[in-house]
Structure 1
């Protein structure tokens, strides 16, 4: 709730990526909550209309300008709130407006995730057209060409041919997003008009329209497939707290409207976990619950997944699953042959031998064994029983890795925990193959002791020398066609 004397300045950087936006503390008595996807993106293909809906009774004055670096700087001035929200119908309208806002944000996510891919496919379309022309020329006069060259060209054409229906699907989805934007804009205007007039008779009529639009949007977003890491940007400093080493995280299985944060300071000799109801509470230091774990943890590579905390028990290779709802250990299991207690840590040490992580495919453990000569081992775990479902042995030394994280079944490894670090190595569990890559990221505070991917937020959570930070990731992925869906 903004006060009539507040002026908020938002700097919106025009990039094709998703920027989880910090929830800053603006005054000693005021905390303003901004959603993790409040980013305006302008491309030749799509232009999202940003329609902030803060409360059902709040109207905004918005002006914009451009700074020296070409970034758009928007100023929002909020008037004083009235008291009509006490009315029961007003509260129902408020909930409906919030649903429209959530859908607006979801559309922004969909748009951001497809822009880069669409541009890539457009380039591929030009290549297809060029190859098609060359192919026709070769076909018409193939007797004068060497058979090997002809077959090679034909193979390239065949590999690019499947991209044509994908391109057409992107064009269709682009039109869908535009339709969604227009429908939400109209609904928002109608709802605000009803509220201003003090009548809510049309609420029941509007509600089915919102639900129908929401269903269509979810259907469109479900076409997104797993992606490949292309870029890391940021970091965004959320807070500065604790010691040099620690972990903080949210549950990727929770709904978008829930944004609880868990905080575990230090890498050893501690068993106190702090919970915050929201990111804004975390920034403000307002705890909602404290857990006293039965066992101390080792390292900083813990994870919260589907309501449970998974961590490495100190001075052992035992993984503990702790229910955050009941406050009890559900199960614990030894990770056979895994080194522990600084036998095979990351380069910074800190008992980081066993790294637990999640992605779109579930729960993983990354560690090293004597049998694999100290190189990284990746195991897929059953989140209920902690049994190993499958294991892959890599040839990358665990001690030479700075940090690592999983995205869509691929392990990404950084070459250092210090300044100048980059994602250097990628191992695909789908194909059991690896490649050396070069994806730099800004290690702003010089010493990274935790880096984990959150599939819901599409962001990397990091602990950087006592600073809790977020890195934005750009993934390349295709949209499934109707047949694949």
Structure 2
């Protein structure tokens, strides 16, 4: 060993002592951290065990309650099924009793029609109607219904053009509005964002009620002229019919409806004063006046000129009526209650006198408790387009010959 060896040993010893001290501090630090982690882990285990015990206790408490709730639900379901069966049986019994003792339908036949001279500007009154077509069908029953969607407010109208070549859907929301929605086809109307698919047509004068009609490419509707019903003035009791060209978006004709003292024809639909309808024979109008405020009136209109060709005083009462439509020259009036219940065709009036009281069916609508704001018959499809509290519904009709027995 040389003279430098002691110096080297001293140097190494001086360097190792601080290093050993640092290692000792590091070991002590790691031991403290591990002890803290072990303590936290023990706390987590204790909390987890406590939560698991609480969850078991809660589960043990809830299981009996769930069993009781399930038993009550089954009991309620059984009770509901029993009540439904009783209601079905009661309805069948009522239908059977009505079949055995049918109510006299409000059908006016030939021997009750009183002839008279024509009234200028108002058309012939209470004369037998001469059919323009060979249509001789009447309703046998309202077979089924399909709820398509909910669009708009509680009152409105949706329909197709029975004379048009396209499948367009026309929607007129509200009882006092001036904008109609037109959808290219039924599928577009049923979409969730249907309004984006629709074109909008604005009419120059707002319509009144839900009596509008799309027929042959035109929108027919009633407007309230200044001083019309509810407005005071000379035209207090009159309404004006508008014929609006949907493609050109222009008014092509208008006429003051030749009836004074107009009142709502339907006791349950107070906003409609003239309800326009179309069938295989053409254009019709359902209305009522103060002269006979208990019954509905029917008028046959010329779709070209809006002239009134014939008028009839029907025996169908206004009370509890909610809507009406015409098929093959026969007016069918739908009645309901307030609050709304199950609607029923309770009165019919055949302007031609072909349908006799014994052959008139008085069917219920499918089981749905609502109120019809409007009903539109499509003669091509033999379907009714209904607006029920904002829901758009299609009813399929089963038909038979007027001469057949019920």
Normalising by the smaller structure, the TM-score range is 0.5 to 0.7
Secondary structure of the corresponding residue to residue 281 of structure 1 = helix
Distance 1:228 1:338 in 2: 32
Distance 1:293 1:275 in 2: 13
Distance 1:459 1:305 in 2: 16
Name the residue aligned to 2:217. 307
Counterparts of residues 201-216 of structure 1 (less than 5 Å)? none
Post-superposition offset of 1:226? 3.2
Bigger radius of gyration, 1 or 2?
2
Name the residue aligned to 1:263. 171
The 1:276–1:309 alpha-carbon spacing in structure 2 relative to 1, beyond 3 Å, is same
Deviations 1:279-325 (A, max 9, x none): 01111214342111111111112110000001111345111111001
Return 5+ residue gaps in structure 1 as ranges.
1-222, 480-485
1:276 paired with 2:186, answer no
Name the residue aligned to 2:345. 423
Post-superposition offset of 1:374? 4.1
Match of 1:243 among 137, 150, 153: 153
1:459 paired with 2:386, answer no
Counterparts of residues 410-449 of structure 1 (less than 5 Å)? 410-416=330-336, 418-431=340-353, 435=357, 437-442=361-366, 444=368, 446-449=370-373
Q: Which moved more, 1:451-460 or 1:413-422?
A: 413-422
Distance 1:478 1:366 in 2: 22
Question: Is the Cα contact below 8 Å between 1:251 and 1:305 reproduced in 2?
Answer: yes
Post-superposition offset of 1:437? 4.3
Match of 1:367 among 287, 302, 318: 287
Post-superposition offset of 1:443? 5.6
Secondary structure of the corresponding residue to residue 399 of structure 2 = strand
Distance 1:434 1:332 in 2: 36
Name the residue aligned to 1:252. 162
Post-superposition offset of 1:429? 0.5
Question: Is the Cα contact below 8 Å between 1:361 and 1:409 reproduced in 2?
Answer: yes
So what's the TM-score if we normalise by structure 2?
Answer: 0.58
Post-superposition offset of 1:347? 2.5
Secondary structure of the corresponding residue to residue 438 of structure 1 = coil
Question: Is the Cα contact below 8 Å between 2:354 and 2:402 reproduced in 1?
Answer: no
Deviations 1:81-102 (A, max 9, x none): xxxxxxxxxxxxxxxxxxxxxx
Distance 1:247 1:324 in 2: 16
Secondary structure of the corresponding residue to residue 442 of structure 1 = strand
1:294 paired with 2:204, answer yes
Counterparts of residues 160-199 of structure 1 (less than 5 Å)? none
Counterparts of residues 225-240 of structure 1 (less than 5 Å)? 225-240=135-150
Distance 1:443 1:290 in 2: 34
The 1:318–1:434 alpha-carbon spacing in structure 2 relative to 1, beyond 3 Å, is farther
1:383 paired with 2:290, answer no
Match of 2:397 among 465, 473, 482: 473
The 1:265–1:283 alpha-carbon spacing in structure 2 relative to 1, beyond 3 Å, is same
Return 5+ residue gaps in structure 2 as ranges.
1-132, 230-237
Question: Is the Cα contact below 8 Å between 2:265 and 2:273 reproduced in 1?
Answer: yes
Name the residue aligned to 2:328. 408
Question: Is the Cα contact below 8 Å between 2:297 and 2:311 reproduced in 1?
Answer: yes
Question: Is the Cα contact below 8 Å between 2:241 and 2:255 reproduced in 1?
Answer: yes
Question: As a proportion of its length, which structure holds more strand?
Answer: 2
Name the residue aligned to 1:56. none
Q: C-alpha root-mean-square deviation of aligned residues, in Å?
A: 2.3
Deviations 1:428-471 (A, max 9, x none): 00018774742111262512111121111110000011100000
Post-superposition offset of 1:370? 2.6
Distance 2:356 2:297 in 1: 13
The 1:445–1:241 alpha-carbon spacing in structure 2 relative to 1, beyond 3 Å, is farther
1:336 paired with 2:258, answer yes
Question: Is the Cα contact below 8 Å between 2:342 and 2:369 reproduced in 1?
Answer: no
Counterparts of residues 65-214 of structure 1 (less than 5 Å)? none
Secondary structure of the corresponding residue to residue 461 of structure 1 = strand
Q: How many residues align?
A: 252
So what's the TM-score if we normalise by structure 1?
Answer: 0.49
Higher RCO (CA 8 Å, separation ≥ 6 residues): 2
